[in-house]
Amino acid sequence: MSFPHGTLQGTSLIGKQVFSGSQAVIQAIDPATGETLSPAYPGLGKGEVEQACRLAWSAFDTYRETGLEERAGFLETIADEIEALGDELIVRAMAETGLPRARLEGERGRTCGQLRLFASVVRTGEWLDVRIDPALPKRAPMPRVDLRQRHVSLGPVAVFGASNFPLAFSVAGGDTASSLAAGCPVVVKAHSAHPGTSELVGRAVQKAVAHCGLPDGVFSLLFGAGNEVGQALVADPHIQAVGFTGSRAGGTAIMATAQARPQPIPVYAEMSSINPVFLLPEALAARGAEIAEGFVGSLNMGAGQFCTNPGLVIAVKGEALEAFVAAAARAVSGSGAQTMLTPGIHAAYSKGVETLAGAARELARGEVGDGPNLCQTALFRTQAADFLASNALQGEVFGSAALVVECEDLDEARAVAERLEGQLTVTLQMDDTDLGAARTLLPTLERKAGRILVNGWPTGVEVCHAMVHGGPYPATSDSRTTSVGSAAIQRFLRPVCYQNLPEGLLPEALRDDNPCGVTRLMDGRREG
Amino acid sequence: MSFPHGTLQGTSLIGKQVFSGSQAVIQAIDPATGETLSPAYPGLGKGEVEQACRLAWSAFDTYRETGLEERAGFLETIADEIEALGDELIVRAMAETGLPRARLEGERGRTCGQLRLFASVVRTGEWLDVRIDPALPKRAPMPRVDLRQRHVSLGPVAVFGASNFPLAFSVAGGDTASSLAAGCPVVVKAHSAHPGTSELVGRAVQKAVAHCGLPDGVFSLLFGAGNEVGQALVADPHIQAVGFTGSRAGGTAIMATAQARPQPIPVYAEMSSINPVFLLPEALAARGAEIAEGFVGSLNMGAGQFCTNPGLVIAVKGEALEAFVAAAARAVSGSGAQTMLTPGIHAAYSKGVETLAGAARELARGEVGDGPNLCQTALFRTQAADFLASNALQGEVFGSAALVVECEDLDEARAVAERLEGQLTVTLQMDDTDLGAARTLLPTLERKAGRILVNGWPTGVEVCHAMVHGGPYPATSDSRTTSVGSAAIQRFLRPVCYQNLPEGLLPEALRDDNPCGVTRLMDGRREG
């Protein structure tokens, strides 16, 4: 085994130990050159998956009762350790993904910022949702006993790294950060597209676990070609929830496995979205060319390999729409070819564009470029009547490809909105005088999407408290949650009620004197 | 069709209309006499189920945007209308269930109190979980746009009435109250054991809808023999969530149907629990006889037909346990026979007791009694080693039947705890000197149950803010929630983020001036 990239060893991490599997090998490919990157990562077998899950289980009762400060410190240590990887992480991630340096440096900042946000969330203790209903011994006809509630950790979580954010949605990304924040050990199935990046980050987390003196089962990182490791992970009885970002086929397979277990478990799969953009009439007339420029910029961002890539534009027919279409087509024609993440993603993109080409009219393609795995931006057009009659036109094409849907009038635009599947985002381009039209659309859009934007583009996802990166199926498997932002912690918690417990047995967060200093619902009234 | 019980008509209610189905008929049986009660309730067909769901859908956008005060007033009006039914409701419920008057009057009080509690919950607006992250236009390297979050209603909810609480877990019970509080229209599938009670309450809700000027699709009540109506309801594309209390077989069938839909939906099924009671050594030695009396009282309550009925007692062997067992056996032997809810439940109870008798040693049976459908309290005993080796001994027997598990020591008691399936409740009988043993058990119990009680009995479920009537599978299908208490409203909500919306488009609850007067998370800090 060679070590051409610094410290990489090509191994899985089970707790503090390294494991070299004996199954089929994963090897990264530099998508810009087609070159295979060392080292090779032999896949694990079922026995090792079970071992990692058992270890996570053994760490669970200790880890879930770490104090707020201790757990927050651990999350911050992970961020520090990732930063300490320095440029080796960026260089390796560039080679494995074809993404440019600036993007990856930004993503590293986001990843570490996210870990630190969850540290601050842990410290507030809001997530404990402490509720105290004091005893009412004199209540008639029946006295009330003392009842207290807090949230506890669900259990070990299986996290699947995503291809398109090798840092922010991967080994130490949002699912891992929110699981660890919730007190849940994590077993990560590394994405096969960036194993070296995964190993580097995995070792950083491993170091943080050791540095903080936590049980080593708090974190493991598994490699495996194909679906066996992932399926075994989801089926393992010690795993209590799943975080996944990826394709609809992958997400629904995981949902099926999770439901078929003797004990079904929650799956948080973020899967498929075409992120419709409605161009309302006045905005379209007033600034169609400017909107076209913003739209194509968002469409091309990261070669369109964002869950929030705007793949659908809906507008009412007329001169203003024609002007927009002409400007968007010009911008698309001038779009440079960009390297996609993997040969597989490039192949799926090409197939998706072909399907669109068969069902809609091509308006423009971007530059062809020179090299392997290039995304050639694509813009298509169709009539609302055809869109309403077709499921194929709603399929997600992962990469820079979009479809403009021309409507007869606003009523038809609303019918298109009603016809949509669940989405991560819906965008309105509107001016003040479009307010009436926007109000008419809003109830439908609220039923369809997790986030509604006005006069922006969906490709930026702020990591904050109010963010919802979620939405009705098939955008996600569970519309009641978000995978980005501080509310993501709630996915990995469940409530427990403690009735009449003596002070000495009561969890610290529930004690009368509130030693954790958390906000509480006292007899239904918010306090502190 | 005869009208022997006042206003009963034997019809389903679809919005403001009455429907007489043409499918197989349901007819209540007085379990105390075996007598069939009029009127007959013809079952609906699929077309009528679809009609009810479509009507609920048509009411959804209007109902979900009712103001806090308007929605709270509606819930209170339902309570008023139920009370206005007067004694007719109690008399009919007695005849249909065999439950005594005092119990049903208490349950009516609980049902109306629950509706009024949810009215107060709606008014606070806590459930909106308003979060505002204001714009940071000067932030570097990237400005932040204005982001706001609220929770919105999931959509029409299918509610299945339960047999054992003909008021509190039925037509206008907890699932209905919390769905309506969350802004979700409700389509109830009436339980076939108490159709007349269901019709009376259904008409009370129908009146409240009309009185409050709400769209009539907000509420429908469907009758149907067999599973067809229920399955069609869960499969209907307009239904967005399910509330169910009943058997494990029924709940898992609903889960399967909900997952097989093109768009899977959340199911809140409360199913199966044997509610273990741990007798810790010092408490057992100090007050074994008293504990035995409390235990058998709880075991016999409502003929044991409670989800929280204590069906399992775990203790360490020795003199104190023998004294407890003797006292419990005496109390069981003296237990009067009680009429069970339905012939079907009685038959299932008899079969469950037979299974226990085949796998454990019988300690005592209660009085035989005279009449049909009588529950003859049953107490069994086994060794921990046998319990650990058996799945059958963990099966729920719905009715007054319990099993005492004798352990070698506290370690074995903990092993029994680890072997348990998910539970609604776990109870500890303990004295101060048992604190160490209790602390050792607690982490396991927290993983197993939704509610942990000390020195009480699980059969009372307080409707309050801190209550958790839930727990890991198979106690429920979704351990992240509760079906009793104010937090039950959260089951029917999902978050939506609004990015950069103009004031005129922003939902009222998210406006800067906070016209709804709700608590808000402002930039991560709790406010108001």
pLDDT tens digits, one per residue of A56-65 = 999 999 999 9
* Angle, CA of B474, A244 and B447, to the nearest 5°: 30
Stronger pLDDT, A140 or B442, i.e. the higher one: B442
Best residue in B482, B494, B512, B527 for a mutation probing chain A (most A CBs within 10 Å):
B494
Q: Which of B152, B467, B480 sits opposite A494 (nearest CB)?
A: B480
Are B171 and B161 in contact by the 8 Å Cβ rule? The answer is yes
Output the six-digit token pair for B373.
């459908």
Closest CA to B378 of B365, B369, B362, B368: B365
Give span(s): CATH 3.40.605.10, chain A.
13-26+38-271+481-490
Q: Which residue of A has its CA nearest to B498?
A: A452
Which 3 state secondary structure label does DSSP give A211? helix
Subunit contact B132:A466, Cβ cutoff 8 A: yes
Domain formed by A276-454, architecture: 3-Layer(aba) Sandwich (3.40)
Does the domain at B12-271+481-490 match CATH 3.40.605.10? Answer given as yes
> pLDDT at residue A314 above 70?
yes
Q: Which helix (H) or strand (E) holds B245?
A: strand B241-245
Q: Which residues share a beta bridge with A189?
A: A160, A222
Q: How far is CA B101 from CA A49, A323, B84, B142, in A?
A: 57, 75, 17, 67
Q: Give residue-wise pLDDT tens across range A419-451.
A: 999 999 999 999 999 999 999 999 999 999 999
* CATH 3.40.605.10 placement within chain B: 12-271+481-490
Q: Which chain B residue shows the shortest CA-CA distance from A522?
A: B465
Nearest residue of chain B to residue A134 (CA atoms): B466
CB contact under 8 A, A473 and B264: yes
* pLDDT value of residue A527: 85
Q: Give percent helix, percent strand, percent coil of chain B, each to the nearest 5.
A: 40, 20, 40
Given the residues B53, B112, B184, B307, the one annotated as active site: B307
Q: Which of B265, B496, B498 to mutate to test the interface with A (most CBs of A within 10 A)?
A: B496
- Within chain A, all domains assigned CATH 3.40.309.10 are found at 276-454
Q: Do A466 and B131 touch (CB under 8 A)?
A: yes
- Complex ipTM more than 0.85, yes or no: yes
Can you give the pLDDT at residue B468? 98
Report how far residue A385's alpha carbon sits from residue A380's, in angstroms, rounded to the nearest whole number: 15
A4 pLDDT band, cuts 50/70/90, is very low
**For A66-77, what is the mean pLDDT?**
98
Residue B447 and residue A155: Cβ atoms within 8 Å?
yes
What pLDDT, on a 0 to 100 scale, did the predictor assign at position B240? 98
Are residues B259 and A263, on separate chains, in Cβ contact within 8 Å? Answer: no
B307 among known catalytic residues: yes
Looking at residue A136, the DSSP 8-state letter turns out to be B
Contact residues for A374 (Cβ-Cβ < 8 A; gap 6+): A337, A338, A339, A340, A346, A368
Task: Report residue A424: phi and psi, to 5°.
Answer: -70, -40
Average pLDDT, chain A: 96
Would the CA dihedral through B207, B212, B215, B220 be positive or negative?
negative
- Cβ A502–B432 below 8 Å, yes or no? yes
Q: Measured between CB atoms, which of B144, B432, B474 is closest to A462?
A: B144
Can you tell me the distance from the alpha carbon of B237 to that of B265, in angstroms, rounded to the nearest whole number? 10
CB pairs under 8 A between A and B: 210
Q: Do A526 and B126 make contact, defined as CB atoms within 8 angstroms?
A: yes
Interface test with B, best of A473, A494, A520 (most B CBs within 10 A): A494
Q: Do A142 and B439 touch (CB under 8 A)?
A: no
Q: What is the pLDDT of residue B7?
A: 82
CA nearest neighbour of B484 among B459, B504, B508: B459
Indicate the burial class of A87 (C-beta count within 10 angstroms; 0-12, 13-18, 19 or more). Answer: exposed
Sheet holding A520-522, edge to edge: A525-527, A520-522, A130-133, A147-153, A493-499, B449-454, B423-429, B276-279, B312-316, B401-407, B378-383, B361-365
In terms of phi and psi (left: phi > 0; alpha: psi -120 to 50; beta: otherwise), the region of B275 is left
CA separation for the pair A514, A403 (Å, rounded):
55
Q: Do the beta carbons of residue A495 and residue B450 sit within 8 Å?
A: yes
Contact between B494 and A479 under an 8 Å Cβ cutoff? The reply is: yes
Give yes or no for a contact between B358 and B238, defined as CB atoms under 8 angstroms apart: no
Summarize pLDDT for A199-251 with one digit per residue, the tens. 999 999 999 999 999 999 999 999 999 999 999 999 999 999 999 999 999 99
Average pLDDT of the segment spanning A302-311? 97
CB A161 within 8 A of CB A169: yes
Provide the pLDDT confidence category of residue A279 given band limits of 50, 70 and 90.
very high
Burial B262-284 (b: 16+ CB within 10 A, else e): eebbbbbbbbbbbbbbbbbbbbb
Query: Are B454 and A121 a contacting pair at CB < 8 A?
Result: no
Nearest CA in chain B to A427: B499
Residues 6+ apart with CB under 8 A from B335: B296, B300, B366, B367, B377, B400
Return the CATH fold of A13-26+38-271+481-490.
Aldehyde Dehydrogenase; Chain A, domain 1 (3.40.605)
- Contact across the interface for A501 and B454, Cβ inside 8 Å: yes
Chain A nearest-CA distance from B524, in A, is 6
CB < 8 Å to B468, chain A = 149, 495-497
From the list B147, B452, B528, the residue facing A462 with the nearest CB is B147
Is A307 part of the annotated catalytic residue set?
yes
- The letter for the amino acid at B474 is P
Residues of chain B with pLDDT under 70: 1-6, 528
Which residues in chain B are closer than 8 Å to A501, comparing Cβ atoms?
452, 454
- Residues A367 and A334 sit within 8 Å (Cβ to Cβ): yes
What is the average pLDDT across A93-104? 97
Percent of chain A with pLDDT over 90: 97
The pair of structure tokens assigned to B366 is 């209660």
Candidates A53, A112, A184, A307; catalytic one: A307
